[in-house]
């Protein structure tokens, strides 16, 4: 995978969560597809200058979500998730609208989280 991985050590968001978010974003953007392997945990940890357990925590969270399979000897492999790709355009529109309105990423995330907490018509 040739993408540049970065994290913000000054952010309030935990490092493992930032790593997991980068993977989700790459899947959503189609940069990572089913069957693609994520970088080995030690390699990614070294490149980001973080503890290998931080990367493993991110990979385990992604496994728990069903986004990746973790297999000894094969590493972390992306599973099929077409719904992530389907959300790319609506999420980009939401981010664009939030930026134009001057709403911060943290506030946008809070608003999105609150929207998920609302009952759906099926509830």
pTM of this prediction? 0.71
pLDDT value at 112 more than 90: no
Residues with Cβ within 8 Å of 15's Cβ and at least 6 positions away in sequence, in order, are: 7, 9, 48, 50, 54
Please, how many CA atoms are within 13 Å of residue 77, restricted to the half-sphere of its CB?
11
Domain ranges of the chain: 15-84, 87-117
Provide the CATH topology of domain 15-84.
Answer: Arc Repressor Mutant, subunit A (1.10.10)
Place of tokens 């952010």: 11
Residue 39: band (very low, low, confident or very high) from pLDDT cuts 50, 70, 90: very high
State residue 123's pLDDT score.
61
Could you read off the pLDDT of 53-102 as tens digits, one per residue?
Answer: 999 999 999 999 999 999 887 789 999 776 777 787 888 899 999 999 99
């Amino acid at each position: 995978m040739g993408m540049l991985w970065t994290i913000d050590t000054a952010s309030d968001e935990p490092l493992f969560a930032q790593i997991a978010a980068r993977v989700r974003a790459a899947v959503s953007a189609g940069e990572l597809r089913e069957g693609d392997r994520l970088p080995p945990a030690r390699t990614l940890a070294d490149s980001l200058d973080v503890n290998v357990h931080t990367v493993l925590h991110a990979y385990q969270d992604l496994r728990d979500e069903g986004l990746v399979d973790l297999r000894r000897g094969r590493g972390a492999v992306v599973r099929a998730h077409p719904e992530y790709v389907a959300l790319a355009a609506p999420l980009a529109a939401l981010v664009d609208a939030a930026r134009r309105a001057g709403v911060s990423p943290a506030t946008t995330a809070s608003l999105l989280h609150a929207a998920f907490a609302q009952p759906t018509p099926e509830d």
